[in-house]
Amino acid sequence: MTAILVGLVGHTWRRQQYASMSWWLGWWLLATLTWTPITVTTGSVAGITTHWWANGVWVVRPLQKASIDASFWFNIVMTLPQGWLWYRRWPRLNRLIWPLLGVVTGGALETGQTLGNWLVGLGLWVDINDIITNALGVVLGYGLAKIWQDKWRGDSSCS
């Protein structure tokens, strides 16, 4: 995956498409953060209903009390930049599309984890909460970029 993303970054850099290049770099960073086979626990996992499937741990019940820990909030913060970069790339999208972009982002990351678990047994958690929080981070990042563009820069164009 890194080779593909590096190729896309190089391609957009050569064409001087810096917003697109930043977007692909954002995807590489998110993929690295979410697909690296390490476990970071920021709280107790006791009380979270999980299932073992396809060489990984699955959480399919959203917003369980024990699921809302520091990693829950980190997932929002982690995808704020990608939402900002979505805006830099496509600034005129209807705001009703923003949640869909967030779900696509979170879904792509969780799908990558699922494939990593299934193909090489990474043992990563595939968590519905991550899709929710990633989507929220993208929506907030997109909204903040729009506010920044409209209010502080004083124009509606995007470079």
Q: Which of 8-22, 50-64, 98-112, 142-156 has the lowest mean pLDDT?
A: 142-156
Is 97 part of a structural domain of the chain? Answer: yes
What is the model's pTM?
A: 0.81
In total, how many domains does the chain have? 1
Domain residue limits at 95: 50-152
Tell me what pLDDT residue 144 has.
94
Is the Cα torsion angle 32, 44, 122, 129 positive or negative in sign? Answer: negative
DSSP conformation letters of 139-151: HHHHHHHHHIIII
Report residue 51 CA to chain centroid gap: 23
Is 138 part of a structural domain of the chain? Answer: yes
Is 147 part of a structural domain of the chain? Answer: yes
**What tens digit of pLDDT does each residue of 27-67 get?**
888 888 888 866 666 666 778 899 998 898 999 999 998 88
- Cα–Cα distance for residue pair 34/140, rounded to 1 Å: 20
Q: C-alpha angle with apex 8: 94 to 107, nearest 5 degrees?
A: 50
Chain mean pLDDT for the chain: 87
Is the model's pLDDT at 159 over the cut of 50? Answer: no
Is 129 part of a structural domain of the chain? Answer: yes
Is 59 part of a structural domain of the chain? Answer: yes
Asked if 69 and 43 touch (Cβ cutoff 8 Å), the reply is: yes
Asked if 3 and 90 touch (Cβ cutoff 8 Å), the reply is: no
